[in-house]
Structure 1
Amino acid sequence: MAQFAAVDRADAASLIDAMLLLNEEQVATSIRSALDRIAEHPRHRKRRVALYAEREFDSAMIFEIKLVPDLRGRLRRRAVGYNGPPAVKPVRGRARVGSEGFVSHLISQSAERWTKIFMNHPGPDRLRGKTAPAGEIVIVTDFLGSGTRVSTMLDKFWAVPTVRSWVSRGMMRFRVVAAAATSSALGKVRRHRLQPQVEAEWIAPTVTSTADYMTMLAWKRLIDKNGPQEGRGTGRYGFGEEGALIAFNYRLPNNTPAMVHHGGSNGWQPLYVGSAPAELRSLFGVRSLDQAVLSAADANGVEFGEELTEEDRQAILVLSMLRGRWHRGAEVALASRTSLPVPTVLDILTRVLRAELITRSGRLTDKGYKFMESGRAGERKTPIIATSSLPYYPESLRIL
């Protein structure tokens, strides 16, 4: 905080407090759980799943292409190779590997656990195997910040004629699994021509996704005024101008504001470089769900009444943020604003719907209004009206 002017420190503190903090354990658990759900699905008992870590590629295509004669002797472009692209390989001219090594390790663990389901970075020859062909390709990452890198990776799959043929015949589908993502990245990747299914447990808030307009303006002034003008190949708001408010205990994504992740020639110091220093590690401890709810309530100005159960607090928080507007995908916005995982938000919404506190369109019912009034503190305070201490007796009644 010493780097900020005194007048900026309150805004800087509120921005740092709003960041979603995730540690390796949370990321690993999220990815493993998602892969376990895929493996347990009945669809994959006959068709296997190919897992690939998200990373950058120099080549135009994921797989090697050769001209191979078909049954009539005509030469056809065909993807070949038993092994696919390596999971970890820095792009030429860069020393950083990023989080690919960590994600690759998680993929290896899941492939060893589900040997009859998952294939670890297979090549085309394994994908088209006669006894156990693949029916789905899954790209795995810890964070979707802008969605650009995974979209580029999907483009390189699409560029392979063999893959296009599989997709057009309905033999192959795509999926992207991320521990965390921004809502804009989710939308961008889902709109890709391969139409992958995209899932993320945690939704990272951004500078512009805060519910408080004045807070957003204060954060923008802070970012425009402080830190380097550019980050790791990015502008002040991070790669893709996302302004993502997220930090992992093992890295700071370049989608975060430059003042968070990058040092400058003017001596500016980032939050940290590489792994979080010892003095910050306690901040990345796994919080209980109730602690997360209380923190989200405090950040969003929701006051709980006394003697509420943990489930009641969860319901009141989500109902307060829902604001009578429900549509498919609204759980992503709620997860972003509350910093609760998406599955937890969906569980809470399912519970309040079953309790008839909201309609299917997300509007509060009469029962929901009564529940909110009884559960929130300070909602209906009786105003104190100043009066004279002397009694007043009217001598006549006025006709209105």
Structure 2
Amino acid sequence: MTRLSETTEGISWVDQFRPEDQCLACSLLDSLALIEHDELVDAIQDSIIDVARNINGVIGIFSEREIRRGKGGVPNALYQQPRRKKNRRAFGQGPQPVKPKLPYDMSVGSEGIIAWLVTDICKQQPGKFVSHPSPAQIRKKKVRHFMLVTDMIGSGRRAYEYLDSAWKVASVKSWKSLGLIDFTIVSYTGTEAGVSFLKSHKTKPEVRIARSCPTIFTEFDKDTAEKIRSLCIHYDPIDHDGAESLGYRGSGALLVFSHGCPNNVPRLLFKNDKRKNWKPMFPNRGTAASRNAFNSVKEESELRRKLARMNEVRLSRGDWTSLYSDEAKSMLFVLAAIRTGPRQSEAVSRKTGLNITLINILLENANQWGWIDANRRLTSIGKGQLNYARRVSKSPVNSKKNSERALFS
């Protein structure tokens, strides 16, 4: 089982730490969730389509990007509108899907991927979705939903400011107050703090994420998390700030995309110091040098680590993973996650790293089979499935066949 810390890039990065800190540095590196392009795109697309099923009317879909600011650093309005106090009917073009914040900054990061995804969905269902509609299109096509799409909600600041820019438009406020338009944010992942922050916005958006974002504070026990936090501050190549050393606004995220490293992860992972004595794992937030690691890191090691965090010691050490199909392993993983609670889908995703849509399907099946009750508590049958996996061994001749039968009988 290959870990990120065992790759060539990982070994080189860990070697920069003092010998007594290298074990902790390995733990930090191996806790990163590595998300490939196809997984990102498929999960966001599935979430968008799932949300759309419950929405009547046309959906205006927008890809999140940095909003330009006016005087005092306040985000500009999303649409043009007259400056007079009354009859401020919005007009003009819709926002551009991809636009650098500064005229000399031509990097667009993940915005390009999200913009492409938005365009593709609008081509697939032109009667349901309108890409970045103008005020005139909103009125003509009777757009009844404002959907903002992004890859990650870290602090939530950028998506919050995008909603602010829309809320500065008098027409948008009017549509909302009349019940003509609602807001939804769809993201691949998001931190608890970031999601909570967005839900507090005046537009009262629904926030849909495909999986919860692992952070230093969710992936480690309290003592280890504090040690990791201190490590990130001590080795921060910038200024050892107590919050920003952990990533933008102290997010402490532990998730990296194949297209780039977000600025919400600890800075020692992607920042150089001025003298370039520190070589980050993802220089300039790029992942090109480490891209092979996305394919080499094995899922089983991550599964066992997470099971150990759930106090499922026997499952984390046993041979049962070789006896079950991927579907069966996911089911047992979810049953282990809800054994002690909390049992909400988002909480289960934080524990397991599984997609929330998949979790909901598995839990629905578990309820139908009588393994959990209406409150998502394990029944005696559900507990029996976990107990069997704890006892099972790969030594019997037909153990895999027997294990599958036990799980789905």
Pick the TM interval, shorter chain.
0.7 to 0.9
SS at 2:227's partner residue? helix
Q: Which residue of 1 aligns with 2:33?
A: 20
State whether residues 154 and 190 of structure 2, in contact with CA within 8 Å, keep that contact through their aligned partners in structure 1.
yes
Is 1:281 aligned to residue 296 of structure 2? no
Q: After superposition, where does 1:98-113 map in structure 2 within 5 Å?
A: 98-113=109-124
Range with bigger deviation, 367-376 or 240-249:
367-376
Q: C-alpha displacement at 1:231, in angstroms?
A: 9.4
Q: Structure 1 21/364 Cα, relative in aligned 2: closer, same or farther at 3 Å? A: same
Cα deviation for residue 348 of structure 1 reads 2.3
Task: Tell me the amino acid that sits aligned with residue 333 of structure 1.
Answer: A
1:370 to 1:109, Cα distance in 2 relative to 1, 3 A: closer
Which shows bigger deviation, 93-102 or 345-354? Answer: 93-102
**Residues 54 and 100 in structure 1, CA contact (< 8 A), matched pair in contact too:** yes
- The runs of at least 4 aligned residues of structure 1 exceeding 6 Å deviation read none
Distance 2:255 2:114 in 1: 18
Q: CA deviation at 1:344?
A: 1.8
| 1:202 correspondence with 2:218 | no
Q: Contact 1:183/1:333 (CA < 8 Å) preserved in 2?
A: no
Higher helix share: 2
Q: Tell me how far apart the structure 1 counterparts of residues 226 and 20 of structure 2 sit (CA, whole Å).
A: 15
1:300 to 282, 304, 307: 307
Provide the residue aligned with 1:271 in structure 2. Answer: 281
Matched, 1:118 2:129: yes
Q: Which amino acid aligns with 2:170?
A: P
From 286, 289, 309, the counterpart of 2:324: 309
In the alignment, the residues of structure 2 paired with residue 7 and residue 200 of structure 1 have an alpha-carbon distance, to the nearest angstrom, of 38
Deviations 1:100-157 (A, max 9, x none): 122112111222222222212121111111xx21011111111111111101111121
Deviation at 1:253, TM superposition (A): 0.8
Q: How far 1:176 moved relative to its partner?
A: 0.8
Q: Is the 8 A contact 1:324 1:362 kept in 2?
A: no
Q: Using the alignment, how far apart are the partners of 2:77 and 2:174 within structure 1?
A: 15
- Over 3 Å counting, the alpha-carbon distance change for 1:371 and 1:37 in structure 2 is closer
For 1:36, which of 49, 52, 57 is the aligned residue? 49
Per the alignment, residue 77 of structure 1 pairs with 88
1:60 aligns with 2:76: yes
Q: Which residue of 2 aligns with 1:324?
A: 340
Superposition deviation, residue 239 in structure 1: 0.9
Q: Does 1:362 align with 2:376?
A: yes
User: Following the alignment from structure 1 to structure 2, what is the Cα–Cα distance between the partners of residues 256 and 220?
Assistant: 12
Q: Equivalent residue of 1:80, what SS?
A: coil
Tell me if structure 1 keeps the 8 A contact 2:188–2:210. Answer: yes
Cα pair distance change 1:110/1:13, threshold 3 Å:
same
How far is 1:326 from its partner?
A: 4.3
**Which residue of 65, 85, 101 corresponds with 1:91?**
101
Stretches of structure 2 lacking an aligned partner (at least 5 in a row): 1-13, 70-74, 394-409
* Cα distance in structure 1, aligned partners of 2:300 and 2:364: 17
**Which TM-score applies when normalising by structure 2?**
0.80
1:225 equivalent among 231, 234, 247: 234
The partner residue of 2:360 within 346, 362, 372 is 346
Match of 1:4 among 1, 14, 17: 17
Indicate the RMSD between aligned Cα atoms, in angstroms: 2.7
Q: State the Cα distance separating 1:296 from its structure 2 match.
A: 1.7
Amino acid at match of 2:304: A
The alpha carbon displacement at 1:238 in A equals 0.8
Shift of residue 320, structure 1, vs aligned partner: 2.3
**1:147-296 matches, cutoff 5 A:** 147-230=156-239, 235-266=244-275, 267-272=277-282, 273-278=284-289, 280-285=290-295, 292=299, 295-296=302-303
Q: How many residues align?
A: 361
Contact in 2 for aligned 1:64/1:79 (Cα 8 Å) = yes
Distance 1:231 1:203, change over 3 A: farther
Identical-pair percentage: 25
Deviates further, 306-315 or 102-111? 306-315
Letter aligned with residue 198 of structure 1: V
* Contact 2:270 2:280 (C-alpha < 8 Å) held by counterparts: yes
1: distance between equivalents of 2:101 and 2:375?
47
Q: d(CA) in 2 for partners of 1:102 and 1:137?
A: 19
Q: Give the C-alpha shift of residue 378 in structure 1.
A: 9.3
Structure 1: segments with no counterpart, 5+ residues: 69-73, 380-400
Aligned-pair CA distance for 1:43: 4.2
Contact 2:270–2:285 (CA under 8 A) maintained in structure 1: no
Amino acid paired to 1:348? L
- Alpha-carbon separation, structure 2, partners of 1:338 and 1:119: 35
Q: Is the 8 A contact 1:138 1:176 kept in 2?
A: yes
Contact 1:230 1:258 in 2 (8 A): no
> Is the CA contact (8 Å cut-off) linking 1:67 and 1:76 kept in structure 2?
no
Q: Mean Cα displacement is larger for which, 148-157 or 336-345?
A: 336-345
Q: Cα gap change, 1:257/1:94 in structure 2, threshold over 3 Å: closer, same or farther?
A: farther
